[in-house]
């Protein structure tokens, strides 16, 4: 098979197709992790996006399924320089190309991903289209036209497609926490469960009355794909429970909390996607390396008058990475403390803080 990638700026590149044949479109973003392609591809926050890996070799340790962050591949397609289809890792049970084929997801390799990464850094994340199949079937596809014709990601409701459809429980002996699933990663659930919480996960469209039915000790807003403005029910929930219950959030959850309290968000030029983002704690001055995956961020000046305090910033570009309100019992981070993929420098610090704050509020 061949693959043909088209970008809205007119770029058209032919490469080697793998995975499942078909024509797909979405936003092309790059991710800088050197390993962890299983985790990245199955991260629900990548819904609606063609995921391009800057590290040149993918598939070298195969696919085991042990580190999936959801039940399926959530990225729209995979873009990379080279794949290796003869992995020798003892936990591998299939190749990366077989994994994509089974999931019905298209992939393309043999591209100059360095050139494409520089293009996105200069021009910003772009709408893109990918056609994969036999040369006679896809070589004539107008992938550039398809890229230009699709709506921008800000106007899409990607959250409902990756959220759970009905509530479920992860039992524990500790305080009860209702977690709103906007596209939650498994390792966030695992990290919360390790704190002993009695967890109830509810869909992104859960009503306030449904959440109240569980009599939670705290509310948690998860990560997820796309524009936080699309998370209307979660915004309503934060508005309702702020000051009444402790509220915590990760990634999209931080943005939702900020919108609910009257702040504003904006779309980053090319987002933060990778496992090497430095985050500075403003109180201690300590910089920690974090895993991140988001396209939107809090507009810093809009936090004034909301009761929120900015606690952490990105050491590269100054974007907001942490907020809190002691009065309202709110704490949220823009990065992924649970990682997968990426460093775990902030995992214990964040989830232990969540546990302590909930216990303090219960007393």
Active site residues: 251, 336, 338
CB 313 within 8 A of CB 281: no
* Alpha-carbon span 236 to 228, nearest angstrom: 12
From residue 340, how far is each of 59, 184, 336 by CA, in Å?
Answer: 17, 12, 8
Question: Are β-strands 49-53 and 77-79 bridged in parallel, bridged antiparallel, or unpaired?
Answer: parallel
Q: In the structure encoding, which two tokens stand for residue 114, read together? A: 């360095």
Look at residue 235 and give its three-state secondary structure: helix
* Alpha-carbon span 282 to 295, nearest angstrom: 23
Which residue from 163, 268, 174 is spatially nearest to 216, judged by alpha carbons? 174
CB 108 within 8 A of CB 79: yes
Which ranges of 271-363 would DSSP assign to H, the alpha helix? 347-362
Which helix H or strand E contains 213, and what residues bound it?
helix 208-213
Strand boundaries in 174-284, DSSP class E: 176-181, 198-203, 218-221, 247-250, 265-281
From residue 219, how far is each of 15, 17, 200 by CA, in Å?
Answer: 46, 44, 10
Question: Are β-strands 320-325 and 330-333 bridged in parallel, bridged antiparallel, or unpaired?
Answer: antiparallel
| 109, HSE (Cβ side, Cα atoms, 13 Å) | 16
CB 51 within 8 A of CB 77: yes
Residues 6 or more apart in contact with residue 113 via CB below 8 angstroms: 30, 52, 53, 54, 56, 79, 80, 81
């Amino acid at each position: 098979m061949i693959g043909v990638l088209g970008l809205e700026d007119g770029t058209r590149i032919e490469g080697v197709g793998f995975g499942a044949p078909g024509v797909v479109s979405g936003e092309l973003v790059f991710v800088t992790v050197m390993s962890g392609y299983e985790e990245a591809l199955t991260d629900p926050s990548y819904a609606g996006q063609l995921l391009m890996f800057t590290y040149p070799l993918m598939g070298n340790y195969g696919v085991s399924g042990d580190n999936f962050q959801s039940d399926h591949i959530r990225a729209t397609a995979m873009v990379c320089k080279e794949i290796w289809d003869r992995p020798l890792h003892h936990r591998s049970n299939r190749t990366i190309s077989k994994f994509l084929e089974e999931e019905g997801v298209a992939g393309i390799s043999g591209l100059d991903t360095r050139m494409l990464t520089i293009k996105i850094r200069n021009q910003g994340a772009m709408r893109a289209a990918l056609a994969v199949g036999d040369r006679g079937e896809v070589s004539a596809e107008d992938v550039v036209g398809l890229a230009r014709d699709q709506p921008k990601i800000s106007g899409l409701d990607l959250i409902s497609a990756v959220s759970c459809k009905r509530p479920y429980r992860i039992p524990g002996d500790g305080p009860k926490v209702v977690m709103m699933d906007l596209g939650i990663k498994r390792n966030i659930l695992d990290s919360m469960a390790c704190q002993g919480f009695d967890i109830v996960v509810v869909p992104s469209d859960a009503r306030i009355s449904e959440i109240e039915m569980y009599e939670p000790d705290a509310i948690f807003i998860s990560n997820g794909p796309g524009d936080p403005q699309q998370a209307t029910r979660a915004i309503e929930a934060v508005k309702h429970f702020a000051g009444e219950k402790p509220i915590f959030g990760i990634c999209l959850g931080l943005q939702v909390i900020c919108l609910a309290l009257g702040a504003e968000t904006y779309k980053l030029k090319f987002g933060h996607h990778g496992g090497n983002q430095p985050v500075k704690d403003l109180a201690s001055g300590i910089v920690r390396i974090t895993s991140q995956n988001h396209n939107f961020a809090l507009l810093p000046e809009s936090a004034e008058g909301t009761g929120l305090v900015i606690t952490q910033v990105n050491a590269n570009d100054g974007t907001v990475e942490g907020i809190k309100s002691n009065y309202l019992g709110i704490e949220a981070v823009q990065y992924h403390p649970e990682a997968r993929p990426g460093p775990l420098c902030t995992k214990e610090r964040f989830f232990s803080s969540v546990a302590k704050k909930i216990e303090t509020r219960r007393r």
